[in-house]
């Protein structure tokens, strides 16, 4: 036990309030936070139900599985300035937290972001940088620290293990009348699991008039939890989507039709309170119903097909960008969001779209903390949204300045000049034209360089929904599950770079399948992690997966100039529920634990057979 107040209470799941060192009364508890959301009359809703399904679920701790371990290099200069090179999803956060830990001003710290060999939320946390900095100051030499793979598993933040209870009622017409969800998430050694995100998302795919969601953040003797792609939501969706599938089975209703009938849409109020703006969930469900995959026959013994849906609210935050016009007609773009999934390419394409020039002429760079204004973490699928806004503003700034330069060159009023498709022209004199490259070559002699700037903290985030379809085959003798076919559908708002979007969806599915079937932290009786290597912590490889098909649905987000919604989170939300539902279709057994490993599946099959 790490602290005298961190002992399990007898009724830990019903005592709100959490850890209070100044309160010596009552039982000690490991509950650090408690969230409660309610909408409508839940008791009346269950009275109106013709069918009620209630089940409990457990999910194991899993790791993000990034290939590159944490690493940081620090060096103090003769001028007293600290320079840090690191692999992080937020170099400004590294700067600010290092400043806090070491007690030095942020102006004395320069953080240079390096290429990232995977993050998925796990590199939003500071581990090594202050230590390397302190050692460098002591040694008066550059110091580099890199974690071993075992250290990554045992000392950095995985996602939370959980215990979840879901109760949903529906009438014979297939309409949900009430839902009640209680979730207990492990925070690790210190408070702060992603339980609030789970509460925000767990039932959002459904328009439910009467609902209650309760969440508990509990402290346990495990590594402090960190974000992992849609933090907290995949486990919650596994539980909710399993219960939804069981209701569909008992009512004899097609699972996609049931979701469409109960599906949320613009104007729907989520149980936690917010009202949805324009979303594409119904369009995504309609696209799923039209896929060849869903309409094909699945033949053969021990095979089953499952579907599941998922939601993620998507993030935003402050972001900055500067774009400089070069004399050769290219753009040097500096933005502040570390690139963990095609970010630089999408930024370049958005600038090019505004200016009407080829994307290849825009050269994007992720700036260090002295080269660009403060930009928040690349996390929550908010980078393309917020930094996309910033580069859009920077490009619009350039466009306005180019109009002014053209007016000066031609000695005409600004109102007489327009800039369309990469060309400035006089509205009434077709002979007066200058291409972007021609203008760029004349900037120095007509007023100096042109630099566009964008500094934003945008609202208008577009929520994301996904629907997944999976076919599996189960070996009843070994419990091994093979993924035969997988289709992921998702509303992305606008696919700026479609192949990168497809890669994001496929990557989320691959990680979700690993979470569903294999991945978990295994602890010895002495509390030590027993599988802290990639040999023993079994992540799926290309040999374990079929080609993952994707269907990109584009329902524009009205809160962004290009209609963008984040895409990197919600794709990991449905896989566990979809695989669980497919296993039930194949074997007739409902799985209530993650991972659905061969051992866990065999135990469920034996229990069903009375063995």
Number of H helices, E strands in the chain: 15, 21
> Does residue 81 or residue 21 have the better pLDDT?
81
Overall residue count recorded for the chain in this entry: 611
Confidence tier at 14 by pLDDT (50, 70, 90): very low
State the Cα–Cα distance between residues 268 and 186, nearest whole angstrom. Answer: 31
Asked if 218 and 182 touch (Cβ cutoff 8 Å), the reply is no
State the Cα–Cα distance between residues 285 and 283, nearest whole angstrom. Answer: 5
The predicted model gives 567-581 an average pLDDT of 99
User: What are the structure tokens assigned to 105, written together?
Assistant: 């001003």
List of residues 6+ apart from 378 with CB closer than 8 A: 89, 90, 119, 337, 338, 339, 340, 343
Domains of the chain: 71-155 (3.30.365.10), 231-314+461-608 (3.30.365.10), 319-456 (3.30.365.10)
pLDDT digits (tens, 9 = 90+) for 22-79: 455 667 889 999 999 999 999 999 999 999 999 999 999 999 999 999 999 999 999 9
Query: Tokens 């708002």 map to which residue?
Result: 493
Confidence tier at 289 by pLDDT (50, 70, 90): very high
Of the CA atoms within 13 Å of residue 500, those in its CB half-sphere come to 18
The predicted model gives 160-189 an average pLDDT of 98
Q: Is the pLDDT of residue 4 over 60?
A: no
Burial of residue 297, with CB atoms counted within 10 A of its CB: 0-12 exposed, 13-18 middle, 19 or more buried: exposed
Asked if 89 and 116 touch (Cβ cutoff 8 Å), the reply is yes
Give residue 23's pLDDT: 52
Q: Is the pLDDT of residue 565 over 80?
A: yes
Give residue 611's pLDDT: 78
Give residue 28's pLDDT: 81
pLDDT digits (tens, 9 = 90+) for 93-111: 999 999 999 999 999 999 9
State the Cα–Cα distance between residues 468 and 488, nearest whole angstrom. Answer: 5
pLDDT digits (tens, 9 = 90+) for 350-409: 999 999 999 999 999 999 999 999 999 999 999 999 999 999 999 999 999 999 999 999
pLDDT digits (tens, 9 = 90+) for 457-468: 999 999 999 999
| Angle at which helices 575-587 and 233-251 cross, to 10° | 40
The predicted model gives 522-543 an average pLDDT of 96
Distance of CA 298 to the CA centre of its chain: 32
Q: Work out the number of other CB atoms within 10 angstroms of the CB of residue 24.
A: 8
pLDDT digits (tens, 9 = 90+) for 429-464: 999 999 999 999 999 999 999 999 999 999 999 999
Give residue 10's pLDDT: 35
The predicted model gives 537-551 an average pLDDT of 96
Which phi and psi (to 5°) does residue 548 adopt? Answer: -95, 110
The predicted model gives 475-500 an average pLDDT of 98
The predicted model gives 220-249 an average pLDDT of 98
Confidence tier at 480 by pLDDT (50, 70, 90): very high
Asked if 177 and 170 touch (Cβ cutoff 8 Å), the reply is yes
The 3-state secondary structure of 317-350 reads: CCEEEEEEECCCCCEEEEECCCCCCCHHHHHHHH
Q: Is the pLDDT of residue 290 over 90?
A: yes
**Is residue 473 classed as helix, strand or coil in its secondary structure?**
strand
Q: Is the pLDDT of residue 324 over 90?
A: yes
State the Cα–Cα distance between residues 317 and 377, nearest whole angstrom. Answer: 8
Give residue 25's pLDDT: 61
Distance of CA 388 to the CA centre of its chain: 17
């Amino acid at each position: 036990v790490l602290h005298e107040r961190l002992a399990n209470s007898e009724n830990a799941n019903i005592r709100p309030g959490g850890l209070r060192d100044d309160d010596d009364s009552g039982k000690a508890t490991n509950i650090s936070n408690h969230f409660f959301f309610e909408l409508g009359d839940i008791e009346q809703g269950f009275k109106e139900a013709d069918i009620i399904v209630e089940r409990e679920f457990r999910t194991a701790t899993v790791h993000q599985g990034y290939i590159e371990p944490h690493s940081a290099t620090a060096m103090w200069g003769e001028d007293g300035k600290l320079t840090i090179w690191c692999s992080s999803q937020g170099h400004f956060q590294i700067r600010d937290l290092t400043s806090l830990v070491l007690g030095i001003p942020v102006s004395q710290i320069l953080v240079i972001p390096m290429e990232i060999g995977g993050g998925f939320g796990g590199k939003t946390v500071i581990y090594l940088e202050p230590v390397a900095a302190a050692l460098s100051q002591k040694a008066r030499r550059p110091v580099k620290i890199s974690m071993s793979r075992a250290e990554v598993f045992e000392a950095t933040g995985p996602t939370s293990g959980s215990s979840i209870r879901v109760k949903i009622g529906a009438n014979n017409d297939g309409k949900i009348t009430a839902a009640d969800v209680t979730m207990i998430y492990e925070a690790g050694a210190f408070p702060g699991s992603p339980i609030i995100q789970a509460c925000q998302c767990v039932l959002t795919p459904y328009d439910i008039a009467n609902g209650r969601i309760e969440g508990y953040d509990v402290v346990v003797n495990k590594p402090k939890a960190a974000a992992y792609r849609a933090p907290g939501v995949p486990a919650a969706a596994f539980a909710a989507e399993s219960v939804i599938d069981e209701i569909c089975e008992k009512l004899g209703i097609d699972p996609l039709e049931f979701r469409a009938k109960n599906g949320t849409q613009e104007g729907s109020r989520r149980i936690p309170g917010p009202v949805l703006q324009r979303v594409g969930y119904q369009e995504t469900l309609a696209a799923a119903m039209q896929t060849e995959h869903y309409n094909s026959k699945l033949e053969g013994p021990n095979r089953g097909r499952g579907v599941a849906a998922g939601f993620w609210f998507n993030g935003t935050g402050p972001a900055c960008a500067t774009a400089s016009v070069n004399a050769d007609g290219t753009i040097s773009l500096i933005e502040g969001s570390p690139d963990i999934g095609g970010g630089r390419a999408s930024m370049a394409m958005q600038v090019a779209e505004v200016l009407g020039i080829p994307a290849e002429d825009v050269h994007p760079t992720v700036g260090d903390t002295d080269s660009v204004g403060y930009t928040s973490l690349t996390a929550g699928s908010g980078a393309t949204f917020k930094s996309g806004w910033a580069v859009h503003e920077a490009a619009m700034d350039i466009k306005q300045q180019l109009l002014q330069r053209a007016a000066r060159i031609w000695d005409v009023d600004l109102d007489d000049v327009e800039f369309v498709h990469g060309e400035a022209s006089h509205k009434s004199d077709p002979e007066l034209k200058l291409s972007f490259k021609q203008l760029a070559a004349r900037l120095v002699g007509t007023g100096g360089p042109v630099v566009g700037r964008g500094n934003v903290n945008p609202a208008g985030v577009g929520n994301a929904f996904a629907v997944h379809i999976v076919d599996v085959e189960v070996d009843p003798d070994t419990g091994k599950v093979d993924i035969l076919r997988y289709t992921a559908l998702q509303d992305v708002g606008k696919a700026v770079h479609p192949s990168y979007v497809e890669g994001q969806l496929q990557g989320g599915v691959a990680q979700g399948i690993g979470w569903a079937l294999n991945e978990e932290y295994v602890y010895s009786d002495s509390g030590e992690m027993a599988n802290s290597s990639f040999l023993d912590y079994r992540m799926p490889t290309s040999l374990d997966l079929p080609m993952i098909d994707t269907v990109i649905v584009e329902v524009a987000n009205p809160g962004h100039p290009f209609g963008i919604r984040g895409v990197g989170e919600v794709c990991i939300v449905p896989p566990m529920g979809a695989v669980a539902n497919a296993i039930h279709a194949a074997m007739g057994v409902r799985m209530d634990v993650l991972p659905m490993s061969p051992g866990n599946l065999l135990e469920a099959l034996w229990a069903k057979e009375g063995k």
